[in-house]
A and B are shown apart, each in its own frame.
Chain A
């Protein structure tokens, strides 16, 4: 089977990625923390989160938010999309009961000096219209059907 691939040529600045909505539960938070081996109590113990962190509940940890952003980006690119760099800025926490909404916009595309195609994407994770986390991502995309960013190594990969 050949996996579908998003090609650089079909991506333009200003393009919007499809929205992802997800209802966060305590299970989402705890599963995400355990999956990332983060045993710290503010990601599973509500009393600790309230008393020690001053937050209203347990909240999604950073590594699991990274996994959410990765999933959102590769839902768009398909398996040939290869993450080069991601930057997250946490502005607020995501709690059980929140519906998180991920949206993304292509900021630009380029082909680097070693011929790798890149898209710059700005992604926002919001709850009730309030932005909780922003992510800027540099994602490598194939330039043609026979191009695959995953084959790049060493100096041919410049994330």
Chain B
């Protein structure tokens, strides 16, 4: 096993990058998201339906990761922060300049509500040997992102499969 692979293997299963969301869950993003996909679900637009069905307004479950994407800029920050930092760490450690996400599983627990301050941490689950696909040569990895609310209730778990790679010589544009 290479030194790099050994270092990375030691991180498998370890909780990394605990974070609190930079802002409370808010309805502006909920409406912008619904607008972006023309989602007319009355849970997000009609407070009476939300009260009746979900005990008050909630965020679309699939917005989980939205609440953790950092501001593109903030006072005192010298570099743009990267979401899913474990993914970018792996690209850097293995020297793989490009990356795509191939699979994404999200499991939903307690509903997320406006005003919630969510917390998260990331866990590396696996890293593959080098593989070659039509994109290039690199490695697949699986990263879990665990989300809880301010009452320490689990709200969701996201699992991502990423492929970090170097483009094949002479490939396409």
Q: Using a CB–CB distance below 8 Å, which chain A residues touch chain B?
A: 1-3, 22, 28, 31-32, 34-39, 50-54, 62-64, 66-71, 74-75, 79-80, 82-90, 148, 150, 153, 157, 159
Q: Which residues of B contact A88 (CB under 8 A)?
A: 103-105
Known contacts A36-B33, A51-B173, then 11 further A-B pairs from the complex at CB < 8 Å, ordered by chain A residue? A1-B46, A34-B32, A50-B173, A54-B172, A67-B60, A71-B38, A86-B105, A87-B103, A88-B103, A88-B105, A90-B104
A64 to B39, CA, bound (A): 12
Name, among B41, B105, B109, the residue most crowded by chain A CB atoms within 10 Å (CB to CB): B41
Interface pair A32/B102, CB less than 8 Å apart: no
Q: Which residues of B contact A50 (CB under 8 A)?
A: 173
Number of A-B contacts (CB under 8 A): 123
Q: Which residues, 50 to 97 on B, are CB-close (under 8 Å) to A?
A: 52-55, 60-63, 65-66, 69, 72, 80
Q: Which residues of B contact A66 (CB under 8 A)?
A: 62, 104, 106
A71 to B33, CA, bound (A): 10
Q: Using a CB–CB distance below 8 Å, which chain B residues touch chain A?
A: 29, 32-43, 46, 48-49, 52-55, 60-63, 65-66, 69, 72, 80, 98, 100-111, 135, 167, 171-173
Given contacts A3-B52, A54-B172, A70-B60, contact A32 B107 (CB under 8 A): no
Nearest Cβ on chain A to B110's Cβ, whole angstroms: 7
Given contacts A35-B32, A74-B41, contact A159 B101 (CB under 8 A): no
Interface pair B100/A63, CB less than 8 Å apart: no
Interface pair B36/A64, CB less than 8 Å apart: yes
Given contacts A67-B36, A90-B101, A90-B102, contact A84 B107 (CB under 8 A): yes
Interface pair B53/A150, CB less than 8 Å apart: yes
Interface pair A71/B48, CB less than 8 Å apart: no
Q: Which residues of A contact B103 (CB under 8 A)?
A: 87-90
Nearest Cβ on chain B to A1's Cβ, whole angstroms: 6
Closest 8 CB pairs of A and B: A37-B69, A71-B39, A66-B62, A87-B105, A35-B36, A70-B62, A35-B32, A35-B33
Nearest Cβ on chain B to A75's Cβ, whole angstroms: 8
Q: Which residues of B contact A37 (CB under 8 A)?
A: 29, 66, 69
Contact of A63 among B35, B62, B135 (CB under 8 A): B62
